């Protein structure tokens, strides 16, 4: 093993550990929802937040949810490709903390939603944010991790551009 790959292994394990934590939290929360809510059930929490049970057969904002079923396997395949690519990126750039943190969050979220598609054929969403009659599409912990990861990637790139 070369010096650079042996030095990056502990970092890679750290980043994969963060992704694993996201997967576990995501799947645990979805198991609770599936066990305690029927499809369509909603519980008021605050004036702007409900817990609901929604099944999403599509992607973000239910994109392609009305397709004939092929989208399930398309998104599973996309998740597998993303997992391989992100793991490769983490191996190569694990020393870049902000970048690797972002990738770890995206990886954990992507795998969390792929697990749902494989187990159920849909993604379990349960977080509903609303204000004054306007409802944001329901989402889950995996979606939140992907969103935060994407924001961190943008922030990391902006920092990199400003330095250069």
Distance of alpha carbon 123 from alpha carbon 15, whole angstroms: 24
pLDDT given at position 25: 98
pLDDT digits (tens, 9 = 90+) for 30-41: 999 999 999 999
Catalytic residue among 26, 116, 143, 156: 143
Catalytic residue among 26, 116, 125, 156: 125
Distance of alpha carbon 104 from alpha carbon 81, whole angstroms: 15
Name, in order, each residue with C-beta under 8 angstroms of 8's C-beta and a sequence gap of 6 or more: 91, 92, 94, 95
Cβ–Cβ < 8 Å for 125, 42: no
Q: Establish whether 116 is a catalytic residue.
A: no
pLDDT digits (tens, 9 = 90+) for 126-161: 999 999 999 999 999 999 999 999 999 999 999 989
Q: Establish whether 41 is a catalytic residue.
A: no
pLDDT digits (tens, 9 = 90+) for 67-121: 556 767 887 898 999 999 999 999 999 999 999 999 999 999 999 999 999 999 9
Q: Where are the beta strands (DSSP E) in 22-113?
A: 42-46, 49-56
Distance of alpha carbon 162 from alpha carbon 127, whole angstroms: 36
Q: Which one is predicted more confidently, 89 or 60?
A: 89
pLDDT at position 1 over 50: no
Give the global pTM.
Answer: 0.87
Six-digit token pair at 17? 């550990």
Distance of alpha carbon 158 from alpha carbon 155, whole angstroms: 5
Q: Which helix (H) or strand (E) holds 131?
A: strand 123-131
Confidence of residue 2 (pLDDT cuts 50, 70, 90): very low
pLDDT given at position 12: 95
Backbone angles phi, psi at 141, to 5 degrees: -65, -40
């Amino acid at each position: 093993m070369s010096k650079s790959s042996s030095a990056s292994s502990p970092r890679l394990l750290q980043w994969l550990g963060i992704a694993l934590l996201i997967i576990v939290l995501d799947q645990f929360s979805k198991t609770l929802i599936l066990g305690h809510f029927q499809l369509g059930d909603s519980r008021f929490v605050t004036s702007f937040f409900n817990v609901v049970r929604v099944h999403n057969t599509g992607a973000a904002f239910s994109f392609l949810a009305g397709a004939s079923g092929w989208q399930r396997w398309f998104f599973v395949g996309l998740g597998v490709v993303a997992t391989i690519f992100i793991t490769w990126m983490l191996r190569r750039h694990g020393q870049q903390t902000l970048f690797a943190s972002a990738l770890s969050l995206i990886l954990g979220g992507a795998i969390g939603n792929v697990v749902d598609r494989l187990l159920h054929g849909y993604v379990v969403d349960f977080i509903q944010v609303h204000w004054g009659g306007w409802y944001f599409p329901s989402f889950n912990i995996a979606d939140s991790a992907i969103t935060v990861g994407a924001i961190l990637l943008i922030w990391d790139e902006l920092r990199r551009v400003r330095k250069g």
